[in-house]
């Protein structure tokens, strides 16, 4: 078992899948010679050649659309969007096409494409290199949206996404790329898409979150533990469709729920999590559902004071947890 | 006995008759659908009428056992040539469970049939173009020798996906043939308010590919252009953009009333060049088609259409709860 | 005061605004000579000419993008998307551009564009002529999303949208176009964007909905009244940003809340409504929040039995209301 | 005294000196930003280096009191010519409250300034093109006599918005000038893996517009091409597409390491044609610029850059809560 960074887990999963199945190939901007702007595909061009690690023109709709076509043929394309913010030109291909191909053809066709994109803030990326875009897609049956928090989850879930027979959006937190390290088994394994994961057992309050929020919650939980507050942490891992059962169980466990996202608050996927709780756990709650999120402004500003103001962090999570515990 | 143009480009009598029959079949299915629509039996129809020559001419120039296609909603002629049956099409018009395109989930004109390598299509225009490029890319990666054939309207050639898809195909020299069926209107908007270039095929130069404009009313001309494009593709010379100039003989769809935006005279004039008529005349002139044979073909086609209509009308709908199936792999 | 259809209210609002302000112009596919595929712009080409009722090429991204440019210049473009389903190619222009122009320029620029689109099902429109697409945009601060239910609201809100100094998405229910009629004052009036509206006062249960759902709820309420169940109906009217105050008030009023949308359930905007209630009204609720929505399948099928199965209707609303009342 | 090419096209000594100074100023601001970045004072820089001639040559051919522009992130030369000051630019680099582009909300290179008719720009490439078309449409509707000028990279010319925007402009014959600054790379992807056409200007024919490729290292050639395009636009002859062939002398941005994808020799070769250098040589050859004057200009520029840097470094950030302002009209 090796300790590796979040981004190394991405590269490892890609490499192993390409070795395992020659129908797997990568396409995107700068993924080839350069190895990606974040180096997620580093070394793959050298190992697998330019045909399987394909530098495309600067055209996200074509990257998605050509990938979908190849997937319908029977290939296993892994498309990279250079930043999640730049997935927007491909929305038509993703929502109108990828999501609906199986359904509209009555199961005759399917489009097993994986679309990877780095998302998230706290990297001085300003408005267009910091966004969380999952909510745009989290109302489209036919799609799955995976947002892993740890290197272990990255490897197992990215492999699962590539092998999945339906389209999967795979959002990687760009600040986690080098910040987050963890143990990753050398062997081949997959983790189930659609299943949330308890990252910490606790009895007093429940935090439900995903991505970098999981680490912020874990850090906050350490501090809270010092004061005898025991935090239960559920990592959604797949944010669409949600793991309702796990959410209900986690909410019922403590009766006090904090939902955390770094996306803008209104319309983010934690709204749906709150709705599931409101529908299913009303009489189990000891406090109103609480949400911690980015403010409802278009996106994270560039200047450090404003960026910090926008971005969630362990302190903000801790403070919200204390308020909830004291309720 | 006129000039046998078809022979010069290697088309046999059987082939041109088969082409004629396919064109006629497309036309007659389409006409029947209008009747069914006007009598309230099916909610919607969108037509191939006027474009059969382009569709059938193109399809016959392909290897229909091997090549892949991503047709657009008017391509009745293409899908018939690729193996879809009149029954399949009528099942789709009636939205019945057995419809191979979508099991009655999509409107008619939204083709798709895996066994015949017809990619499933949607309503937003031009999205199929990058798909066809993707299939061509896959074929190249897998060292297959098929081509991928995609069609769209001239209005649809102004979508971003046209540009992105063709540039991708051009850069990677992929075996994909794009045919724009320029019927001079996009619903109500005429060519000159829609397309800034003098014609569509000139756009090929933006993608470093071969481009040509042909008379879309002449199935032989279209056949020749597509045949040539296919050879280029198979020889590794890359993609082609073909513009087939046609005319839309019906309203845009059964929901449209075209009298508000085009003159009756214009349509009357176009009807004189109706491709089914002119091809039939050509075949008669060159002695391939006799009146007798023509009648026989008409009768056969009618029989096929009747049979298909009856079958489809009787066929059951999918159960209501079937709406819940096949969102994801089951 | 004239009785007119929902679509006549659209045309009336457009005509009056174009008469009032010559900076207002219309652009879209087939909006000119044909008067729009639904005839929403009928007669305007004749009255205002082809320069102010502009038939555009078949390019939604350009329709939005050119409109945004003209709006930045100081015009008041009203762009039509032929069907809401076909707004997807324009998502980048709407989310990355329109929504963020004021914020990113620190208030130097603004983009007062209105984008109209017919949405909704029950018209044999199948997968791509029936969708509710509001959830795609309901997480984008800088945008406003209006979805009126009555001719009166249409006229007042469309005028408000055109005069608004920020971008507004204005979604019109295509089945309401000719189905729904109502009184519309002849005079010029605007209604406030961002405010929900009580469409029926009641004490027993609360239904919160929008668009055609309002009419289904009103019909259901009539039947329920016969059995002594008194229904309070809140019409959201603006679905983003939501009128939190009105939602909280309506939920507290009866303590039993049914949320209705014809969109797919998971990730629809009623999830956010439920979240607002879960945050603010926990101790005022007598029953779990209930949601009635379309099933989580990509979109409405074409065949009548499956379409009917998908689509909400007065009976389904009534049944849900009874379940809630009996809780 | 060499061949005074600038005089032949009506550029005075003052004008060419002003152009030279603007190019130099752009270069020196950019160089300073790299220093600031490398010493950890600013998080990011994206460069104009190598493209100043194209930018300044184009801007000077416009009516900078009247015309509108939608520049892209490298266009330091354009925005300086349109009235943005070194101070404004340094305030943006330091993300300070007073930055007129965005108040420190956006990265440097995201220009915008209403008083100088510089449209606000974003990061997703090519979205500005339809905006410029919209401004041109508005100008035409309002019977104004300005043009709208938009730039982008050659990689960005493969986005759907390029196609959709230019086709719109072509159909409606709008007064918009699009200049593609072809610096041969889109980050790491070279021209031939990016663009399927032989060059960019050939794409003009897809939109029925005037197209021309010019040497982007020669400000006089670019000036001439844009001047001509502007006249066409003002005379109602419609839009133009100009390709200015340049080279990107730096890495893509401060986050990029270009050694992984291009050869040092290639860059060394390109530096020989560095436009600031070659233009300075030209001006000296034709006797417009003396060594003495050049030194004076350098000193002035240095002073401007120093002043701007100091001012911006000292200037305050916006308050944290300012992040909540201006989502909607207040
Ligand atoms: C993205 C998108 N926008 C709008 C529509 C509505 N629409 C359907 S067909 C059509 C016109 C298509 O014209 P053209 O491409 O010339 O094909 P034709 O119908 O003439 O064969 C339009 C606007 C659509 N289907 N997709
Ligand atoms: C839609 C979109 N996709 C990806 C990016 C990331 N990106 C920024 S610049 C760039 C390359 C642009 O190349 P080119 O258009 O040639 O301009 P240059 O930087 O060479 O001047 C890329 C891929 C982006 N900004 N927008
Ligand atoms: Mg057409
Ligand atoms: Mg470039």
Question: What does the H/E/C string look like for chain D?
Answer: CCCCHHHHCCCCHHHHHHHHHHHHHHHHHHHHHHHHHHCCCCCCCCCCCCCHHHHHHHHHCCCCCCCEEECCCCCHHHHHHCCCCHHHHHHHHCCCCCCCCCCCCCCCCCCCEHHHCECCCCCCCCCHHHHHHHHHHHHHHCCCCCCEEEEEECHHHHCHHHHHHHHHHHHCCCCEEEEEEECCEECCEEHHHHCCCCCCHHHHHHHCCEEEEEECCCHHHHHHHHHHHHHHHHCCCCCEEEEEECCCCCCCCCCCCHHHCCCHHHHHHHHCCCHHHHHHHHHHHCCCCCHHHHHHHHHHHHHHHHHHHHHHHHCCCCCHHHHHCCCCCC
Residues C170, C175, C178, C184: is their CA dihedral positive or negative? negative
Say yes or no: C151 and C204 in one domain: no
Host H or E run for residue B299: helix B291-314
What does the alpha-carbon distance between residue D46 and residue D108 come to, in Å, rounded to a whole number?
7
Residue A219 pLDDT: 98
Name the pLDDT band for D2 (thresholds 50, 70, 90).
low
Q: From the centroid of its chain, how far is CA C167?
A: 14
Residues of chain D with pLDDT > 70, as a percent, come to 99
Interface confidence, given as ipTM, is 0.98
Structure tokens given for C257: 């809340």
For residue B139, give both structure tokens.
Answer: 């074929």
The answer to whether D241 contacts chain B (CB < 8 Å) is no
A-C C-beta contacts closer than 8 Å: 157
Q: What is the bridge-based pairing of β-strands C2-5 and C181-184?
A: antiparallel
Q: DSSP letter string over C42-75?
A: TTHHHHH-TTTEEEPPS-HHHHHHHHHHHHHHT-
In a domain, A174, yes or no: yes
pLDDT digits 0-9 by tens, C102-131: 999 999 999 999 999 999 999 999 999 999
From C129, C162, C184, the end of a domain falls on C184
**The token pair that represents C205 in the structure block:** 């249960």
- Find out whether C118 and C290 touch, Cβ atoms under 8 Å: no
- B131 and A68 Cβ atoms separated by less than 8 Å: yes
Q: What is the CATH number of the domain that holds C121?
A: 3.40.50.970
Length of chain D, please? 330
Cα dihedral C305, C311, C314, C318 sign:
positive
Are C214 and C320 in a shared domain? yes
Length of chain C: 327
Residue nearest to atom 21 of ligand 1 (CA): B153
Give the position, in ligand 2's atom list, of the atom nearest the Cα of D72: 21
* pLDDT tier for residue C1 given thresholds of 50, 70 and 90: confident
Residue D62 to residue D52: CA distance in whole angstroms:
16
> How far apart are the C-alpha atoms of C293 and C77, rounded to whole Å?
33
In 3-state terms, what secondary structure has residue A154?
A: helix
Residue C93 lies in a domain: yes
pLDDT of residue A115: 99
Would you say residue B255 has pLDDT above 60? Answer: yes
**Centroid of ligand 2 to alpha carbon of D206 (angstroms):** 23
Within this chain, do residues A29 and A160 fall inside the same structural domain, yes or no? yes
Distance, CA of D130 to CA of D159 (rounded, Å):
12
- The neighbour count for residue C5, using CB atoms within 10 Å, is 18
- Classify residue A143 by its DSSP letter: B
pLDDT number for residue B2: 60
Distance from the Cα of residue D297 to its chain's centroid: 21
C 32-91 residues inside an 8 A Cβ radius of D = 51-52, 54, 56-57, 59, 61-62, 64-75, 77, 89
Rounded to the nearest angstrom, the distance between the alpha carbon of C54 and the centre of ligand 1 is 17
**How many angstroms separate the first and last alpha carbons of chain D?**
60
Interface test with A, best of C298, C310, C320 (most A CBs within 10 A): C298
Nearest residue to C276 (alpha-carbon basis) of B128, A271, B50: A271
User: What is the torsional sign of CA B279, B285, B288, B289?
Assistant: positive
Same-domain pairing of C21 and C135: yes
Domain match, A202 and A177 both: no
Instruction: Choose among A125, A49, A128: nearest CA to A87.
Output: A128
Looking at the structure, do residues C139 and C244 belong to the same domain, yes or no?
A: no
The pLDDT of A45-61, averaged and rounded, is: 98
Domain of residue D28 covers 5-316
- Does D327 sit within 8 Å of A30, measured CB to CB? no
Ligand nearest to the CA of B47: 1
Q: Quick one: average pLDDT of C173-199?
A: 98
Cβ contacts of A62 on chain D, cutoff 8 Å: 158
- Count of domains observed in chain A: 2
Residues C210 and C134 in one domain: no
| Close Cβ partners of D108 (under 8 Å, ≥ 6 residues apart) | D33, D42, D44, D45, D46, D89, D92, D93
Q: What percent of chain A lies above the pLDDT cut of 90?
A: 99
Quick check: C101 pLDDT over 90?
yes
Catalytic residue status for D105 = no
Q: Are residues A211 and A155 in the same domain?
A: no
Relative to the CA of D159, which ligand 2 atom is closest? 1
CATH number at residue D252: 3.40.50.970
Please say which residue of C184, C210, C241 terminates a domain. C184
Q: What is the pLDDT of residue A192?
A: 98
What is residue A1's predicted lDDT score, i.e. its pLDDT?
A: 81
d(CA B52, CA D173): 34
Structure tokens that stand for D289 in this block: 């610029």
Instruction: Reply yes or no on whether the pLDDT at D305 is more than 70.
Output: yes
What is the C-alpha separation between B91 and A242, in angstroms, rounded?
36
> Any catalytic annotation for residue A129?
yes
Chains touching D by CB (3 or more pairs below 8 Å) = A, B, C
Nearest to B106 among C35, C37, C302 (CB): C302
The distance of Cα A173 from the centroid of its chain, to the nearest Å, equals 7
- What is the rounded CA–CA span in Å between residue D205 and residue B199? 10
Assigned domain for B328 exists: no
Of C282, C294, C296, C292, nearest in space to C322 by CA: C292
Say if residues A142 and C298 touch (Cβ distance below 8 Å).
yes
- Residues C8 and C154 reside in one and the same domain: yes
* pLDDT tens per residue across span B125-169: 999 999 999 999 999 999 999 999 999 999 999 999 999 999 999
Whether the predicted pLDDT of C12 surpasses 80:
yes
Are residues C169 and C202 both part of a single domain?
Answer: no
Instruction: Answer yes or no: are the C-beta atoms of D232 and D238 closer than 8 Å.
Output: yes
Q: What are phi and psi of C243, to 5 degrees?
A: -85, 85
Q: Measured between alpha carbons, how far is A52 from A62 in angstroms, rounded to an integer?
A: 17
Q: Are C138 and A275 a contacting pair at CB < 8 A?
A: no
| Residue bearing tokens 């060594």 | D291
Q: What is the mean pLDDT of residues A76-104?
A: 98
The number of folded domains in chain B is 1
Q: Return the half-sphere exposure (C-beta side, CA atoms, 13 A cut-off) of residue D78.
A: 33
pLDDT in tens, D197-233: 999 999 999 999 999 999 999 999 999 999 999 999 9
Is a pLDDT exceeding 70 seen at residue B1? no
* H/E segment holding residue B3: none
C-beta separation of A186 from A1 below 8 A: yes
Helices (H), chain A: 6-20, 44-48, 60-73, 91, 101-104, 134-137, 151-163, 176-179, 212-226, 244-254, 269-280, 304-310, 314-326
**Mean pLDDT across chain A:** 98
Rg (CA), chain A: 19
Domain C-terminal end among A153, A184, A215: A184
Spatial distance between the Cα atoms of C244 and D330, rounded to a whole number of angstroms: 19
Do C222 and C178 belong to one domain? no
Whether residue D183 is predicted with pLDDT greater than 60 in this model: the reply is yes
Residue D130 has its nearest CB partner, among C93, C142, C166, at C93
pLDDT of residue D184: 98
C56, D130 Cβ separation under 8 angstroms: no
Ligand 3 midpoint to CA B180 (Å): 9
CB-based burial of residue C327 (10 Å sphere; 0-12 exposed, 13-18 middle, 19+ buried)?
exposed
Using the mean position of ligand 4's atoms as its centre, give its distance from the Cα of residue D128 in Å.
Answer: 16
**Does residue C111 form part of some domain?**
yes
Q: Which of C285, D166, A252, D91 is nearest to B158 (CA)?
A: D166
Contacts by C284-288, CB closer than 8 A, 24 or more apart: C284/C251, C284/C252, C284/C255, C285/A282, C285/C251, C285/C255, C285/C256, C285/C257, C286/C255, C286/C256, C286/C327, C287/A282, C287/C255, C287/C256, C287/C257, C287/C324, C287/C327, C288/A278, C288/A279, C288/A280, C288/A281, C288/A282, C288/A283, C288/C327
Q: How far is C64 from chain D (nearest CA, A)?
A: 8
Please indicate, yes or no, if residue B321 is contained in any of the structural domains: no
Residue C18 backbone phi and psi in degrees, to 5: -70, -30
Are A10 and A126 contained in the same domain?
Answer: yes
Q: From D50, D106, D125, give the residue whose CB has the most ligand 2 atoms within 8 Å, as the site to mutate.
A: D125
C25 CB near a chain D CB, below 8 Å?
yes
Indicate the top mutation candidate among B51, B75, B125, B254 to test ligand 1's pocket, ranked by most ligand atoms within 8 A of CB: B125
**How many Cα atoms are found within 13 Å in the side-chain-facing hemisphere of C159?**
20
- CATH code of the domain containing C302: 3.40.50.920
* Distance of alpha carbon B182 from alpha carbon B201, whole angstroms: 10
Take residue B286 and report the two structure tokens written for it.
């060159």
> Is D328 a member of any domain?
no
Residue D322 maps to a domain: no
User: Three-state SS for C121?
Assistant: coil
D4-42 residue pLDDT tens: 999 999 999 999 999 999 999 999 999 999 999 999 999
Mean pLDDT value across residues B315-319: 98
**What range does the domain containing A22 cover?**
2-184
d(CA B321, CA B101): 19
Whether C256 is covered by a domain: the verdict is yes
Distance D19 CA to ligand 4 centre (A): 23
Q: Note whether residue A192 is domain-resident.
A: no
CA distances from D133 to A161, A211, D286 (A): 41, 40, 39
Burial class (CB in 10 A: 0-12, 13-18, 19+), B325: middle
Cβ within 8 Å, pair C291-A271: no
Within a domain: C192: no
Q: Do D104 and A30 touch (CB under 8 A)?
A: no
């Amino acid at each position: 078992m090796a300790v590796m960074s979040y981004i190394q887990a991405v590269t490892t999963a890609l490499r192993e899948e390409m070795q395992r199945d020659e129908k797997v190939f990568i396409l995107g901007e700068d993924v080839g010679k350069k190895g990606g702007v974040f180096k997620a595909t580093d070394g793959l061009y050298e190992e697998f050649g330019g045909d399987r690690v394909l530098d495309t023109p600067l055209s996200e709709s074509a990257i998605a659309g050509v990938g979908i076509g190849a997937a319908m043929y029977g290939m296993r394309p892994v498309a990279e969007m250079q930043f999640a913010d730049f997935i927007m030109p491909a929305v038509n291909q993703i929502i109108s096409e990828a999501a609906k191909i199986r359904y509209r053809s009555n199961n005759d066709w399917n489009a097993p494409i994986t679309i990877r994109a780095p998302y998230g803030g706290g990297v001085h990326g300003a408005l267009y290199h910091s966004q969380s875009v999952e909510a745009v897609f989290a109302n489209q049956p036919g799609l799955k949206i995976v947002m892993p928090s740890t290197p272990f989850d990255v490897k197992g879930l990215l492999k699962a996404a590539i092998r999945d027979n339906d389209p999967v959006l795979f959002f990687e937190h760009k600040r986690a790329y080098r910040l987050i390290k963890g143990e990753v088994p050398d062997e081949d394994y997959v983790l189930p898409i659609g299943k949330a994961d308890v990252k910490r057992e606790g009895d007093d309050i429940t935090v439900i979150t995903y991505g970098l929020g999981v680490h912020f919650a874990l850090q906050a939980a350490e501090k809270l533990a010092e004061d005898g507050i025991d935090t239960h942490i559920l990592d959604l891992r797949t944010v669409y469709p949600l793991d309702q059962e796990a959410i209900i169980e986690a909410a019922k466990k403590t009766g006090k729920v904090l939902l955390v996202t770094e996306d803008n608050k209104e319309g983010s996927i934690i709204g749906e999590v709150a709705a599931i709780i409101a529908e299913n756990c009303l009489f189990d709650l000891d406090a109103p559902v609480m949400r911690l999120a980015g403010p409802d402004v278009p996106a994270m500003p560039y200047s450090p004071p404003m960026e910090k103001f926008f971005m969630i962090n362990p302190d903000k999570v801790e403070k919200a947890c204390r308020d909830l515990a004291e309720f | 006995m006129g000039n046998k143009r078809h022979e010069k480009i290697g088309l046999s009598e059987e082939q041109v008759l088969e082409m004629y029959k396919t064109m006629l079949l497309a036309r007659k299915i389409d006409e029947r659908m209008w009747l069914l629509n006007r009598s309230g039996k099916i909610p919607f129809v969108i037509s191939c009428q006027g474009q059969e020559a382009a569709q059938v001419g193109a399809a016959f120039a392909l290897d229909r056992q091997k090549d892949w296609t991503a047709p657009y909603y008017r391509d009745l002629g293409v899908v018939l040539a690729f193996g879809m049956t009149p029954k399949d099409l009528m099942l789709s018009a009636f939205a019945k469970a057995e419809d191979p395109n979508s099991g009655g989930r999509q409107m008619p004109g939204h083709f798709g049939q895996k066994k015949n390598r017809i990619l499933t299509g949607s309503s937003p225009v031009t999205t199929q173009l990058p798909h066809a490029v993707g299939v061509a890319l896959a074929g190249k990666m897998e060292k297959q020798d098929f081509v991928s054939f995609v069609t769209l309207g001239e209005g649809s050639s102004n979508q971003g996906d046209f540009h992105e898809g063709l540039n991708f195909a051009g850069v990677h020299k992929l075996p994909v043939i794009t045919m724009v069926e320029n019927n001079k209107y996009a619903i109500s908007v005429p060519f000159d308010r829609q397309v800034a270039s003098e014609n569509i095929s000139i756009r090929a130069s933006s993608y470093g590919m071969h481009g040509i404009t042909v008379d879309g009313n002449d199935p032989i001309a279209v056949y020749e252009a597509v045949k040539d494009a296919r050879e280029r593709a198979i020889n590794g010379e890359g993609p082609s953009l073909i513009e087939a100039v046609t005319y839309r003989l019906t309203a845009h769809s059964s929901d449209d009333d075209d009298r508000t935006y085009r003159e009756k005279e214009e349509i009357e004039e176009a009807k004189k060049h109706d491709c089914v008529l002119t091809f039939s005349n050509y075949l008669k002139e060159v002695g391939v088609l006799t009146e007798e044979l023509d009648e026989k073909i008409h009768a056969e086609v009618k029989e096929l259409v009747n049979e298909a209509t009856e079958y489809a009308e009787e066929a059951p709908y999918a159960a209501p709860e079937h709406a819940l199936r096949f969102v994801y792999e089951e």
